[in-house]
Structure 1
Amino acid sequence: MHESARADDPSPSWYSDRLHHQPVELHYAPYRVATPEHWAYVIAHCHLHLVFGHLVPGRKSPEWEIACDLFVACWMNDIVIGRPPDEYPVTLPRSVRDVDEFYRELVRDGVRPEFEGYGFAGSRPDFETSDRFEPKIWQEMFVERIEKSAFETLKSTAEKYHDVPAYSLSTRARLARDWFVNRFPMLGSLAAAFKIIEDEAICTRLGIEVAAISSMTKEIYFNPKVPMTENEYRFVMAHELLHVGLRHEVRQQGRDAYLWNVACDYVINHWLVEMNVGEMPRFGVLFDLTLKGMSAEAIYDLIVANLRRFRRSRTFRNEKLGDILDSNPDFWDYVEGRNLDQFYRDCLRNGLKYHEESCRGLLPAGLVEEIRALALPPIPWDVELGHWFDDHFEPLEKRRTYARMSRRQSATPDIPRPALFVPQVLLDQRTFGVVLDTSGSMDRMLLGKALGAIASYATARDVPRVRVVFCDAMPYDAGFMDVNEIAASVKVRGRGGTVLQPGISMLEAAEDFPKDAPILIITDGATDHFKVRREHAFLMPQGRKLPFKPAGPVFWVR
């Protein structure tokens, strides 16, 4: 609401409202000299016109203005706000409960002489509006503030006198959560597992404008400053629960966290609109009919190609951060028993099963497909690496030779038997290159895991030696090394960041390195753009990404 002084009206006015669209302008008389109690009464009178819905487009008759003024005056007389100005009548009509009924009574019987000209704008009406004005918004904000005030009073009283925790009291967010538990089984178990946080200070500190969720702490955050109806709370809560249930933070896989969150928001909001879960908030959400039916991965690729269009997209958190708060989605790897990842998958999968068995209605096909895909456990990175080795190194067929005898059977020690062997020529051809980033940003523990997996898989597939190139400030060709000796030769040094292209070019140009041998690149992604002209793959820490789109497969080491 904007306030300004008006000195161009000589009439003895206090203020007037002008509402041409949604911003409300309050014009007050600067020459008026009055006590703070008088001004409090007048300004509150003005605001109550707004929240009671008196500014109805098309109603401009004097009877309507007087009816509204007397209705507000009676209401303020009951709750005692400030002190009415001395020039206005102290004796008010009977208590006015219905302004429309009182207006019809004034039209039918006429206005009593003592109430003619009653108002605070002098010769002009107290309020003016246009046909585009929406009074319902201000009424809902008023109701929201009354509810919040009542809740804060109950909260302080309960904590002070009855030792009742504040989170046990009902708010619209908790009523929305109860609705999911009682009426919507697909998300009911997930909703019951999360604690609702409605703290303005916490939301301000975390940069949460509307809502956000943390799967690590099992908490959903709602900013109490944002007025929302219960149906809008249902929409936002379902949105946040689906983020966790569909494991979006795990599926990020090195993508930009904010843009990935935006892509997931488009998918989730389409499903919620199709299912008619709650009501889309009035302040707007990420919703585009042209993206209907697309997966989050496909939408992400579209966003990356059109950054100008999507860069300022606003999530429920803000326009710079996603509403999934966790920075480390793999914290549960070290938790004993059933981890949280499995817990969230089971909640959504069992909720879908109960939803279908109890005939609760149809669901979007894309949502059902993604939930059922959660039943399939993700393939570990080391298993994927083993498949990569299988694709490039077929099992060798061993031959028998009498050049080296096998162990004789105890029953016939005098009969020689040939031993199995692999020709050395075939073993010499079985090799691959390893370009190893040894800068200071590399995690030693993850590096040890990666090199240990490489050694075990190479040994199992009869790969005796590996061509190794270490890259830091400059590349260093270590030549062919035994697979079990690589880890002992690695020394992580430097300050982070390296250039891998010279090392890759050196390996590709080596005359003693087979032309069809693949290359395995181990890095943390803190490098410049580079090109690889032969078959290759990447080993990278979980959550990191390359500065370009990789042509070969990427194995994320956790």
Structure 2
Amino acid sequence: MQTTSYKDVFEKIRVNFLFNHPFLSVLALSIETSYDENKNSAFLTNGFKITIDTNKLEKYSKEEITYLYAHTLLHIVLKHPYRQKTRDSYIWNKACDIVINNILSTFTNIGSRPADEIFDLTLKDKCVEEVYEILYKKKKEEIGKTNPNKDGALDSNEYDKSKLDLDEVYVKNEKIDQEKLDGIIIQALSIAKKASNLYEGMSIEIDTLIKPEINLSDELKEYLISSFFEKQLSYERPNKRFISNGIYMPGTKKLNDNLNIYIALDSSSSVTLDEYKKFLGIIGEIADSFYEYNVEILPFDLKVRSEYIIKFDSFNPLSSDELLIPKSNGGTSFDECLRYLKKSSEVRNDSLLIVLSDGEFELTESLLCNTLFIISNKKNLRKFEKDGRVIQFNI
């Protein structure tokens, strides 16, 4: 099929997007597209334009070409080339393709996924950075276990390199063009966001884009300082300004310098020991800002693992040698953790409960004090917003 006839094919595809996926239509009608030879894949994008290799399209049907076009447009709208940064390009391409193909599996009227497209539903509901970390760790483990062949090669053929469709991002693009592209992407994202019932699978990637990445250490410091150092309204010390008029209004009092924290550690989640130690290091650093503090760590899965509870305070600092994540018995019940606290601890109103988990649990018990949910799985971030502060586990 000649380039000219392929142009007709793409015109029909764009009409399909206009009626069925208007957010893709915005991109398809606005992004620069050219026909040229690509080194690897039929479609190639640097996040700024698309290059289509018509010779490589010969093996695909029109339905599969529709799918691949939508696939490439999603790379652009989700800024995958720009988000790569210094990451390994092969693993990043693979991660991006997995995320996009999982998203497209929920779409209708989007063509047919080619048989050579990588697809892994076990990684559904994860942003591309999360998928990349999983694949990267797996690759390191494989390299550690594999003996190089005579050529020194270690790669397997599980992901065909001819599918690499993300090109290098060129910083020489004019600023005005970058701003124009950002405007197009924002418009497309807005349309997709409004149709969240249709594009729920995209919500995690969209949120990753539009919400700035926040360092856990900074977030925890801000939260604890605002929670424990700021003054609180109290009738224990009425506002003197109004007493002369016979009006009793609450005055302010400074919170105690005693910091009381409970940390519920979900031992069934994917938090690693190194991440756990870094997290407690942050807690210890902040706790040292207080005259006196008490911290109690409660590992739990389907019950609180009382034999692994660790306590430390301002007079008995935490030793990293004590730290471990106990082997889980499977399942997660945060309600059991709350029941344990109600029975065995005197939780003060000004205490803080921090939950370190992937969020794969339901909450039915009432909370006892201010609760901060630190969640590693992005799909669960919105789940507990009505119950307390929720932040992404990102050390």
Q: Which has the higher contact order (CA 8 A, sep 6+)?
A: 2
TM-score normalised by structure 2 residue count: 0.48
TM-score normalised by structure 1 residue count: 0.36
